Amino acid sequence: DAGITQSPRHKVTETGTPVTLRCHQTENHRYMYWYRQDPGHGLRLIHYSYGVKDTDKGEVSDGYSVSRSKTEDFLLTLESATSSQTSVYFCAISPRPLTMNTEAFFGQGTRLTVV
């Protein structure tokens, strides 16, 4: 299994509080991604990173920010959590651009509940 660790695995937080999810990899892969998964919506891309300090928005980036200060860590922050951000969050990594002969590996997920 690819060395990806997401933390925490489960979290319950209150509306309006800040929350940071961490993705840590030991593979030295350049590309990292944050997805959320909700019933009826599948996996949706929030943000991704193509190198240290290089990030870009995905299709559902509103309300989220990310940071990548070193290769192994990609942080996802909810500045002020809302109930609509209750979801399962997956981190993924890949060594190269997802063009030829490259796959993305997924972490085990973080289940976030905003009450």
Partner 1 sequence: QKEVEQNSGPLSVPEGAIASLNCTYSDRGSQSFFWYRQYSGKSPELIMSIYSNGDKEDGRFTAQLNKASQYVSLLIRDSQPSDSATYLCAVNLSNQAGTALIFGKGTTLSVSS
Hey, what amino acid is at 44?
R
Task: Give min distance, CB of 80 to partner 1, in A.
Answer: 25
63 within 8 A of 83, measured Cβ to Cβ: no
Centre a 10 Å sphere on the Cβ of residue 97 and count the other Cβ atoms it contains. 10
Residue written as tokens 């599948």? 42
Residue 54 or 79 having the CB closest to partner 1:
54
Residue among 70 and 96 whose Cβ is closer to partner 1: 96
Q: Which two tokens stand for residue 31?
A: 């590309």
Q: Which two tokens stand for residue 112?
A: 């976030």
The binding site for partner 1 (CB under 8 A) comprises 31, 33, 35, 40-45, 48, 50, 54, 56, 58-59, 90, 92, 97-109
* Shortest spacing between CB 77 and partner 1, in angstroms: 19
Residue whose CB is less far from partner 1, 79 or 103? 103
